Amino acid sequence: MPRFSSSISSLRSSEIRDLMKLVTRPGIISFAGGMPDNDLFPISEVDELFGRLDVLKKQQAFQYGPTPGLPSLLESLGEFLAARGLPTERERLMITTGSQQAISILARAFLDPGDRVLVENPCFIGALSAFKSCQAELTGLSVDKEGISIGDLDVEANSTDPAKLLYITPYFHNPGGILYSMERKRRLVETLAWKDIVLIEDDAYGELYFYEEDKPHLKPIKAENPEGLDVCYTGSFSKILGPGLRLGWLLASEEIYERCELIKQSYDACSPSFTQVIADEFIRSGQIFPYMERVRTEYRKRALLMGDILEATLPTDVAWTRPRGGFYIWLALPEHIDASEVLELSLEDGVVFVIGKTFDPQGRRNNTLRLSYCNTDASQIERGIPIIASAIKKVMNRY
């Protein structure tokens, strides 16, 4: 019999990945996946950019690269991030194979079996998997419309058994869709100062804001250079260019970076040179800016449409908030309602979404669900959301 490691026992297949198998069925409307719409990818722009490259640049794209990333991309991405106030000159930037790898590297750098990690509840499933793979103990802290609970965080920050890490997604949260308020971020920094808890600030969706007035709220905590707090900032090209590139980044202090580079070497030696060349040219050409504006406009239309239909069809005791960016709307049903029953009914009519316990660190709370509007067009939203609303009403009428 094969003797597997103890760390593998804590891993489970993502319910999102399992649901994606259903999406291939004819006629299914999926609000499950957090993936960009294929029709929005900048295919013609990338075709043109790659066609203009000289032979040496194309050869570089086919070759191995340095572990931290191609110098040209580190330079162009560094300038892109510096425009948001991030300290790319003072600290070290690393290209990773998606932001998922950045989170996994940080988990391995800091965690021994049994170490505690603080996470939001609900929380991004990829982060939960990364921490569980290191056999960490996860503590979920509640989240409201302004961000993580400072009361819960204060208790944990002053615990006699302190956590090593706090992981947050403050900019159009996955799965909650919320944008942290400036005040909540300020209080978070105050609470963690000098507590020896490293903050992982995951910013995969911050560029997908719908309203200019929200831009002050999007300034990363990392950009504030808070005293007494180590902040590791992660991000991704997946939502602003394409997930198939498998490119993300990690910005961290020299001390943390050095450990992470060693781990990166053991993972895959280097991220794909081919897609790094594409990302670099996309930034340097300036095409990234009109492209991001284009997808913001489209996702905003879809979010507004979904919100309008939810407002018209949902029972009044279902709580939700209109998104101001990102990919998701989070529904909270009455406590006694099981979202699995809603999913079962919705599937009968050809609609799929993700139930809430997927994002619960303990896998328990299941009166919630996540709806994604990024990969469904207007007609699918118009047909699919009333089906979910009807299923919710039917389940609520059972009790």
Q: Does domain 57-284 have CATH number 3.40.640.10?
A: yes
Split at pLDDT 50, 70, 90, the class of 7 is: confident
- Taking the CB of residue 397, how many other CB atoms lie within 10 A of it? 8
- Rounded CA-CA distance 200/218 in Å is 16
What is the homologous superfamily of the domain 6-42+290-397 according to CATH?
Aspartate Aminotransferase, domain 1 (3.90.1150.10)
Task: Kindly give the pairing relationship between strand 328-332 and strand 368-372.
Answer: antiparallel
- What residues does each domain of the chain span? 6-42+290-397, 57-284
> Interior CA angle at 145 toward 376 and 294, to 5°?
35
- Name the pTM for this structure: 0.95
Structure tokens given for 374? 């990024």
- pLDDT of the residue at 104: 98
- Taking the CB of residue 132, how many other CB atoms lie within 10 A of it? 19
Handedness of CA 280, 286, 288, 291 (dihedral sign): negative
Instruction: State the virtual CA torsion across 156, 157, 162, 168 in degrees, nearest 10.
Output: 80
The answer to whether 262 and 124 are in contact (CB under 8 A) is no
Q: String of b and e for 78-107 (b: at least 16 CB within 10 Å)?
A: bebbeebebbbeebbbbbbbbbbbbbbbbb
pLDDT in tens, 201-231: 999 999 999 999 999 999 999 999 999 999 9
pLDDT in tens, 135-164: 999 999 999 999 999 999 999 999 999 999
